[in-house]
Amino acid sequence: MTATAIAHPNIAFIKYWGNRDDALRLPCNSSLSSNLAGLETRTTVLFDPSYTEDRFVLAGKAQEGASLKRVTDFLDLVRNLARHDIYAQVDSANNFPAGAGIASSASAFAALALAASTAIGLKLSESQLSRLARRGSGSASRSIPNGFVQWQAGEGDADSFAYSIAPADHWELIDLICVLDSGHKTVGSTAGHALAHTSPLHALRQERVSERVELCRKAILERDFALFAELVEEDSEFMHAVMRTSTPPLVYWLSETEIILWQVKQWRKAGRALCCTVDAGPNVHVLTLKNEVDWALQELGKLPGVKQIYQAGVGQGARLVDEK
């Protein structure tokens, strides 16, 4: 009873921030993203009747405490679905370094959902897998389908899942992930979502976010970079405004984050196809088109605090790997 799966992280263009239901991870709003090609989590799950407890090994290191508990809780969901009472060993590794500022929970729970459900003998549809992955980390629901993805908020557990709106080769969008040296301890997104409701700006963002999802989806389908750029930046700024005005406030940006955001806006005004989005950390995802990449890499590399730049095109959905 074993299976191995690969999943990519994703970058949200219209963000998920705040839950209607924290336990079920039902989001306040729908969101849009694309998978990040080349960056991946590979996870093998082995269910074995001789095991007396779950084990979780990440990058060769046995995990304990909160990290193990999150995986064990997730495996409980899989066991409940399969009506099986059997423990597992989970081996997982990312091909991108921890601390690079690329959230790994999306690819981690997407790969785990696919590997664990397959290993235990379940044959889940894409939407069922997306719903399952969502329970581990909301954004993981978006790492299940291929390419450009929409996660519909839905009414409840049954219809809160993600689906592909366009395949990975629909548009040659590139994410240049500018890694800044933060040295900061940040509040993780699970705790962060719970604070969204304390911000007076949360309700204001919610008023307009469905409209932004619809417009951004149109911009992607029509490959309209100018419209896409405006919407992506507006939503990222709005989400960070919600974070900053929460109680306690969540401030993820560094001064170098601001410099990149400002500079990219100037370049766009001068006619370059570039825009920025920032997740729950200080690093900046600069979204651009293939023909701008060489120029952008050169210029971004000169900005203060930029330690490294990862380059990712649009990736596939989660998939099984045949290890034989």
CA–CA gap between residue 100 and residue 62 (Å, rounded): 21
**Residue 16 contacts ligand PMV per CB under 6 A:** yes
CA–CA gap between residue 170 and residue 154 (Å, rounded): 26
Q: Residue holding tokens 């099986």?
A: 84
Nearest residue to 1 via CA among 81, 96, 120:
120
**Residue 139 contacts ligand PMV per CB under 6 A:** yes
Question: H-helix or E-strand containing 303?
Answer: none
Sign, CA dihedral 95-97-100-101, equals positive
Return the residue of 9, 18, 138, 317 that touches ligand PMV, per CB under 6 A.
138
Nearest residue to 140 via CA among 121, 122, 116:
116
Tell the smallest beta-carbon distance from residue 83 to ligand PMV (Å). Answer: 28
**Residue 257 contacts ligand PMV per CB under 6 A:** no
294: Cβ contacts below 8 Å, ≥ 6 apart? none
By CB under 6 A, the residues from 100 to 129 that bind ligand PMV are 103, 105-106
Nearer residue to ligand PMV within complex by CB, 120 or 261: 261
Nearer residue to ligand PMV within complex by CB, 100 or 297: 100
Stretch that binds ligand PMV, among 13-21, 123-131, 204-212, 290-298 (CB under 6 A): 13-21
Tell the smallest beta-carbon distance from residue 112 to ligand PMV (Å). Answer: 13
Stretch that binds ligand PMV, among 8-16, 210-218, 293-301, 314-322 (CB under 6 A): 8-16
Stretch that binds ligand PMV, among 15-23, 54-62, 65-73, 283-291 (CB under 6 A): 15-23
Measured CA to CA in angstroms, residue 269 lies from 230, 237, 255, 265, 273 at distances of 11, 18, 22, 6, 9
Return the residue of 40, 233, 279, 292 that touches ligand PMV, per CB under 6 A.
279
CA–CA gap between residue 172 and residue 167 (Å, rounded): 11
Helix (H, G, I), strand (E, B) or coil at 315: coil
Question: Pattern of binders to ligand PMV over 282-301, x per CB under 6 A?
Answer: --------------------
Stretch that binds ligand PMV, among 14-22, 71-79, 172-180, 309-317 (CB under 6 A): 14-22
Return the residue of 143, 164, 189, 257 that touches ligand PMV, per CB under 6 A.
189
Stretch that binds ligand PMV, among 132-140, 155-163, 202-210, 297-305 (CB under 6 A): 132-140
CA–CA gap between residue 67 and residue 137 (Å, rounded): 13
CA–CA gap between residue 275 and residue 290 (Å, rounded): 13
Nearer residue to ligand PMV within complex by CB, 43 or 46: 43
CB atoms within 10 A of CB 278: 23
**Residue 263 contacts ligand PMV per CB under 6 A:** no
Supply φ then ψ for residue 287, to 5 degrees: -95, 135
Using CB under 6 A, list all residues that contact ligand PMV: 12, 15-17, 31, 103, 105-106, 137-139, 189-190, 193, 279-280
